[in-house]
Structure 1
Amino acid sequence: MRKPIEWLMFAAALLLPCGFAFAQDLSARDTLQKVVDSVPRVPFTAKAKLSSKSRGWVRELDLMYKHIENADASYMEVTAPMDVKDTRFLLLDREPGPDEQWIYVPAIKRAIQVSEQTRKQPFLGSDFYVSDMVRPEIDAYTYTFVGEEDVNGRHCKLIESVPKKPGGDPYSKAIIAIDPQDMVIARSQFFDPKGKLLKVWTIEKMEKIDGNWTPKLQVMQNVQDNTESQLEIVEIKYNATVSDETFHKAYLIR
């Protein structure tokens, strides 16, 4: 299964490690691989708020993560407001092996396996895509250093990511800004199939918690529709006790 590069930004929304030096001889591809490999696999629980000022709503989320059975397992549940409460997501990223993404829809009391087309749809009505939750398959893309830029006080190297098979990807390319000092992603720009800038994903606030760079606030702007969504990590606990049962379909439909 193809795994879109925008997952890097979703991972950044939850946790990013600090402090390894940037090797000047790393290729653009190896730099992205380093970012992916360095995401800690410690269990955590978190509370988050997904909001859209342009649409006038706020969603509250519970998040859990654990590495189990050769899979990076993530569970998300909407806790408020009532119209979307109890919507649940189960994401199993296996390496090697087939990935799985499930959505529990409370209105029909069923868990639905996410299709390829659904992955290109808005996540809970926001400017994020469902596909933003999936770990990238690094070798499905080509990478090129395309410059440097200051982003929110960080001097970043810019890497252009282009899918080798563009038909299955929601974007024609992405330009990812990486701070080489801390090896964290500060921003990604996503382009539509015609090559025009579509969305800009920016880390607005980042804190170091338990030795991990933790982006507390990120913003996704759709520059074509003039809409904006924010994802704020309200609290997070690393090395949390999380039951393996959380990451099974039976728990999703309980």
Structure 2
Amino acid sequence: MTWTYVRFAALLGALLWTLPTAARADDSSARELLQRMIDAVPRVPFFAKVKLSSTTRGWVRDLQLSFKRVDDADATYMEVTAPLDVKDTRFLLYDRAQGADEQWLYVPMMKRSIRVSETVRKQAFLGSDFYVSDMVRPDLNAFQHAFVGEEDVGGRHCKLVESVPKAPAGELYSKTVVAVDPADLVVTRSQFFDQKGKLWKVWTIDKIEKIDGLWTPLVQQMVNVHDNTQSRLEITEIKYNAELSDEMFHKAYLIR
């Protein structure tokens, strides 16, 4: 289960944490908190400039990101603007409450757009520690949710919600544990576990501010505990209620 969409649109050493010894809370209340958090994500159109960097590999990618509700889907368009070797790589994501989600990729060298397969979704996004699948809102019904404690994370008192896939075959993660601030309904940290149950990646919100009345994650970091690598996602500019053409969010726009 992944939460990039929730934290990004609302749009990365391991952090120590301890599972409590108390009994697990019932699934319905944990699921309800996650649903409230998803429902609280603003659906207003926005345009943002973003820097994606690898602090361990020493590279930086500049991206432009646009979001709008189009044809009953949350549509996100992303384009790489620098450096030259990946410039004009484009992504189009459709996130639907009902029906299948879609992710499309345009590769300049191929000069055509391709639909992202399940295999590609489990690969690194532009060489970072974020994965393509981390950009899709989770289907809450596909997971079993439970409270597993409380913890102060990023200066906020959070509830810890563990989510385990009901059908684990083919899933990238065996489980995730997200730290949710129930007061503001924002995620401050996500922990991803591999198929052996070992901590794999830790995603933190390092800076969050209210812009135009909306909580905005300005700096996010993903640490790969296995590989000892980390990537950083920073919003350098954002404009809410931006005037965006519907044309931008259709597949033909990728190959213009």
Quickly name the TM-score band, shorter chain normalised: over 0.9
Does the C-alpha gap of structure 1 residues 10 and 230 become closer, same or farther in structure 2, counting only changes over 3 Å? farther
* 8 A Cα contact 2:40 2:185, kept in partner: no
Distance 2:155 2:4 in 1: 18
Give the match for residue 254 of structure 2.
252
Distance 2:78 2:133 in 1: 14
* 8 A Cα contact 2:33 2:182, kept in partner: no
Q: Give the 5 Å matches for 1:58-97.
A: 58-97=60-99
Distance 2:96 2:152 in 1: 35
Distance 2:239 2:110 in 1: 33
4+ runs deviating over 3 angstroms: none
SS at match of 2:88: coil
Residue type matched to 1:15 in 2? A
* 8 A Cα contact 2:53 2:232, kept in partner: yes
Q: Once the two structures are superposed, what CA deviation does each residue of 1:71-115 show, in whole Å capped at 9, x if it has no partner?
A: 110000000000000000000112322221100000111111000
Distance 1:30 1:225 in 2: 34
Distance 1:35 1:168 in 2: 26
Distance 1:229 1:9 in 2: 14
- Under a length normalisation based on structure 2, what TM-score does the superposition of the two structures give? 0.92
Residue type matched to 1:157 in 2? K
Residue type matched to 1:13 in 2? F
Give the match for residue 208 of structure 2.
206
Alignment root-mean-square deviation, CA: 1.3
* 8 A Cα contact 1:9 1:188, kept in partner: no
- The number of residue pairs the alignment matches comes to 241
Does 2:59 correspond to 1:49?
Answer: no
Taking only the aligned residue pairs, the percentage that are identical comes to: 67
Give the match for residue 223 of structure 1.
225
1:9 Cα deviation (Å)?
A: 3.2
Distance 2:131 2:97 in 1: 22
Does 2:48 correspond to 1:33?
Answer: no
Structure 1 residues without counterparts, runs of 5 or longer: 17-25
Give the match for residue 10 of structure 1.
5
Q: Give the 5 Å matches for 1:32-181.
A: 32-181=34-183
Residue type matched to 2:86 in 1? V
* 8 A Cα contact 1:9 1:185, kept in partner: no
Residue type matched to 1:183 in 2? L
Distance 2:187 2:255 in 1: 35
1:32 Cα deviation (Å)?
A: 0.5
